[in-house]
């Protein structure tokens, strides 16, 4: 009897692994052909076209801005129809935008292509994938979110060498066309075949119960605004570091080769921290993960700002914090607000964060130009410490509300 009772669980477990693996592959391709694309292609594009480097790099910022603007609509669509049609649409948008990028004859059409790619980023990267997992697996989605970030952590590892080989062999335009073909030949079928077709749901706001009769009431609107501010600040810091890290390290006296070598430590640190979170973090509330991530980020940035003689330790701490942060920003809203309306909620949280990520590197450039790299690093270190204080405040709000709910239940 026990064996017979266990059999129905096997297909569900297999289906869950299939969904995670499929999304893992499409996330690697999605991130590698958009967010990480210009790390390899920017210089060849400038050399081939003569366009200003700033205009070329602005493509990613424009894409992030557009992704932020479409995030709320994307979240609502996933809540209503499920992730399958939305993620499939992202594959088509990526392919269309990358093909337009390959055909761009001037800066205007180049940037117009990034508008299309940005819409695909909003519909196809982490926030949309997390929302899809939340709709599919409900409160059990945290483990799936963690596993997906492990896949996503290899995006630059896989796609940077691939982009380099393609550019060297065929040029940047052919590289964009190759990625467009991969989205149509690999990502689109995976989204359509691996993700289940879900029944349409009427538009719904997150329930006040947090998704179950025994769940605590949701945090207040003030707590939501604070959470949005925390995630936005964290996203802005990550965007600045992703663009200006080499500048910061070289300002500290390192040569280019050493700076690049040290910067490469961030990727393995992210993946390693995500493995630890997957093994141990599931027993803790995601607030613990967010607090741990913010602490590691602050320590890493602080050590860099102090001019430590061991920048490797600083970058490993920062990378580990950034790795866990990616998990916490998907798992915490699910834990606080429940699975009902989760995708819409993720869209609302993603909008200010993505817009900040689009604008933050430019702000960082202005700070570097006016005050120097050290001053810019000091400023974002202060921002990371402020984020820690904000997380402590959010934690206190959640605990107070939980205590009031228990007292109210006892008195009732």
Pick the closest to residue 290 from 239, 325, 330 (CA basis): 325
pLDDT at position 408 is 61
Exposure string (b/e) for 335-363, b if CB count within 10 Å is 16 or more? Answer: bbbbbbbbbbbbbbbbbbbbbbbbbbbbb
Give the tens place of pLDDT for each residue, 256-290.
778 877 877 888 888 888 888 888 767 788 899 99
Higher-scoring residue by pLDDT: 227, 208: 227
Give the tens place of pLDDT for each residue, 335-354.
888 888 888 888 899 889 98
- Mean pLDDT check: name the lowest of 82-91, 102-111, 151-160, 309-318: 151-160
Residue ranges of domains in the chain, CATH in brackets? 15-194 (1.20.1250.20), 221-411 (1.20.1250.20)
**Structural tokens at position 357:** 């990520």
Q: What is the mean pLDDT of residues 162-180?
A: 93
CA dihedral 190, 355, 290, 274 (to 10 degrees): 30
- Band (pLDDT 50/70/90 cuts) for residue 215 is very low
Mean pLDDT of the chain: 85
pLDDT at position 204 is 56
Q: Are 361 and 240 in contact (CB under 8 A)?
A: yes
Give the tens place of pLDDT for each residue, 285-331.
889 999 999 999 999 999 988 876 678 899 999 999 998 998 898 88
Q: Are 121 and 67 in contact (CB under 8 A)?
A: yes
pLDDT at position 217 is 52
Half-sphere exposure of 288 (CA within 13 A, CB side): 7
pTM: 0.82
Contacts of 333 (CB under 8 A, 6+ apart): 227, 342, 345, 346, 349
Q: What is the rounded distance in angstroms from the CA atom of residue 148 to the CA atom of residue 134?
A: 12
Q: What is the rounded distance in angstroms from the CA atom of residue 328 to the CA atom of residue 234?
A: 11
Give the tens place of pLDDT for each residue, 29-64.
999 999 888 888 888 999 999 998 888 888 988 999
Q: What is the rounded distance in angstroms from the CA atom of residue 320 to the CA atom of residue 316?
A: 6
- Band (pLDDT 50/70/90 cuts) for residue 8 is very low
- Band (pLDDT 50/70/90 cuts) for residue 206 is very low
386 has pLDDT over 90: yes
**Structural tokens at position 137:** 């697996």
């Amino acid at each position: 009897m026990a064996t017979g009772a266990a059999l129905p669980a096997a297909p569900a477990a297999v289906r869950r692994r299939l969904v995670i693996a499929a999304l893992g592959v499409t996330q690697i391709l999605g991130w590698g052909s958009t967010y990480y694309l210009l790390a390899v292609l920017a210089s060849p594009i400038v050399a081939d076209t003569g366009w200003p480097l700033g205009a070329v790099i602005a493509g990613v910022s424009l894409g992030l801005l557009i992704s932020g603007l479409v995030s709320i609509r994307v979240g609502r669509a996933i809540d209503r129809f499920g992730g399958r049609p939305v993620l499939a649409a992202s594959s088509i948008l990526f392919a269309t935008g990358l093909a337009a990028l390959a055909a761009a004859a001037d800066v205007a059409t180049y940037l117009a292509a990034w508008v299309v790619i940005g819409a695909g980023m909003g519909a196809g990267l982490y926030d949309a994938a997390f929302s899809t997992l939340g709709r599919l697996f409900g409160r059990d989605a945290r483990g799936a979110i963690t596993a997906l970030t492990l896949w996503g952590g290899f995006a630059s590892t896989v796609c940077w060498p691939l982009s380099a080989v393609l550019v060297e062999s065929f040029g940047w335009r052919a590289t964009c066309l190759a990625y467009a073909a991969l989205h149509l030949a690999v990502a689109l079928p995976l989204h359509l075949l691996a993700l289940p077709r879900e029944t349409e749901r009427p538009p719904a706001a997150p329930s006040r119960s947090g998704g179950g009769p025994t769940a605590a009431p949701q945090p207040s609107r003030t707590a939501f605004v604070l959470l949005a501010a925390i995630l936005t600040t964290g996203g802005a810091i990550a965007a600045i570091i992703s663009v200006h890290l080499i500048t910061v390290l070289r300002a500290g006296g390192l040569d280019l080769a050493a700076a690049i070598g040290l910067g490469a430590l961030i990727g393995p640190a992210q993946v390693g921290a995500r493995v630890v979170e997957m093994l141990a973090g599931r027993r803790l509330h995601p607030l613990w993960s967010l607090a741990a991530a913010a602490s590691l980020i602050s320590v890493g940035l602080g050590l860099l700002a102090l001019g430590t003689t061991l920048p490797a330790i600083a970058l490993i701490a920062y990378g580990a914090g950034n790795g866990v942060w990616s998990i916490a920003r998907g798992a915490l809203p699910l834990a606080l607000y429940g699975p009902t309306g989760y995708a819409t909620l993720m869209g609302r949280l993603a909008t200010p964060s993505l817009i900040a990520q689009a604008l933050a590197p430019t702000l960082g450039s202005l700070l570097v130009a006016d005050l120097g790299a050290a001053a810019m690093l000091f400023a974002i270190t202060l921002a990371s410490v402020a984020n820690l204080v904000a997380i402590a405040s959010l934690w206190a709000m959640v605990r107070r509300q939980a205590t009031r709910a228990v007292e109210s239940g006892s008195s009732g």
